[in-house]
Amino acid sequence: MELEDEIKGITYHSLNFVISRLMEECFSLAFEGELSDLKDLVEPDSYCETTDHISALNIELDLLDSLENSVIKGLMVSVNRVLECSRTFLMINSLEGLEIIQETDCFDLASGLYYSYDVEEPEEGMSYKDRLYALYSHYLIFQMVICHCSCMFTFKKREAYTETDALYFDRTDDLFEGKIEVEDKNAQLLLTLVAGLQDDILVLGEIIG
């Protein structure tokens, strides 16, 4: 597989990881409230399972959209934002999502990328309030992963950790305000997503207090 195709596959799978993690947080919060009857019966991530290392997301969007919890509604804004980015990514690259999810090598590489940033301890036993405040670190992880994907396109390399750190930590204000412009269409799409997620976490911060 050519490097460019590999990067595209890693990016699509990485976006799916972000979507899955966002939805897992939605269900974790819902199990403390409107879906409390399901607590201890099913795991929050069971709604977003992967099967045989293929990221076929089983996403219960309608159920989550029907919930009244304001934090979950805010998280769903991000879910739909990443979903829209993923659809746009497929469209501008003339790709088929079902074909990409069968690329297990890309899935494994994306998994390694995602969990190189998501090294947090398991959240079992966390209180509802602690889960709310943990959202800040989750969004940082999401943004770092997406920035890394953007840098892969910009620098045409998979191992873009140094470039990602420079982008995220040295140009934070410009990044979050959507002021960074790059030539690569995929890199730009992903940078726009990072800025959008920053808007979302600021809104969530006002809700959380």
pLDDT of residue 44: 57
Query: Is the pLDDT assigned to residue 20 strictly greater than 80?
Result: yes
pLDDT digits (tens, 9 = 90+) for 36-94: 776 655 565 655 554 433 333 445 788 888 999 999 999 999 999 999 999 999 999 99
The domain spans of the chain are 3-208
pLDDT of residue 51: 43
In whole numbers, what is the pLDDT of the chain averaged over residues?
A: 89
The model's pTM: 0.91
d(CA 28, CA 81): 20
Q: Which of 51-60, 144-153, 185-194 has the lowest mean pLDDT?
A: 51-60
Pick 54 or 183 by higher pLDDT.
183
Q: Give the Å distances, CA to CA, from 121 to 6, 118, 136, 138.
A: 30, 9, 15, 12
Helix (H) or strand (E) holding 123: none
